[in-house]
Structure 1
């Protein structure tokens, strides 16, 4: 009787170890996929910041041109 209990316990321990290994493997794969997705999001965010900085620079030049046009109009009046 005790031999059967020991055998069942050993089998359950082995099955539990295999299950834990499989679960941890798929969890690792999910984390890797998340890391890849986060890297692409980070790249997209960096591009958005660069585009926003370029847009702000262009807006500053437009504002400067507008100011010069306003000065010209005021001088004509």
Structure 2
């Protein structure tokens, strides 16, 4: 009886170790994929921020032009 318990215990330990290693590997792969997606989102957010700043500058310039046109219209009229 004791001669069968030791090999079974060793096999269970080996099986548990292999299962843990495989699960850890797939968890690492999922984490790497998430990190890659997060990097893409970060690049997209930086691009959007830059475009918003450009748009804000263009709107400010347009506002200045409208004010100049209004001033011209008031001076003519």
TM-score if structure 1 supplies the norm length?
Answer: 0.98
**1:64 is matched with which residue?**
64
Q: Distance in 1 between matches of 2:64 and 2:47?
A: 26
Cα distance, 1:67 vs. partner? 0.4
**2:34 is matched with which residue?**
34
Partner SS, residue 15 of structure 1: helix
Cα distance, 1:63 vs. partner? 0.2
Q: Distance in 1 between matches of 2:23 and 2:66?
A: 63
TM-score if structure 2 supplies the norm length?
Answer: 0.98
Cα distance, 1:72 vs. partner? 0.5
Q: After superposition, give the CA deviation of every residue in 1:33-76 in whole Å (9 maximum; x if it has no partner).
A: 00000000000000000000000000000000000000001111
User: Which ranges of 4 or more aligned residues in structure 1 deviate by more than 6 Å?
Assistant: none
Gaps (5+ residues) in structure 1?
none
Write the mapping of 1:1-77 to structure 2, written as runs, cut at 5 A.
1-77=1-77
Gaps (5+ residues) in structure 2?
none
Cα distance, 1:3 vs. partner? 1.5
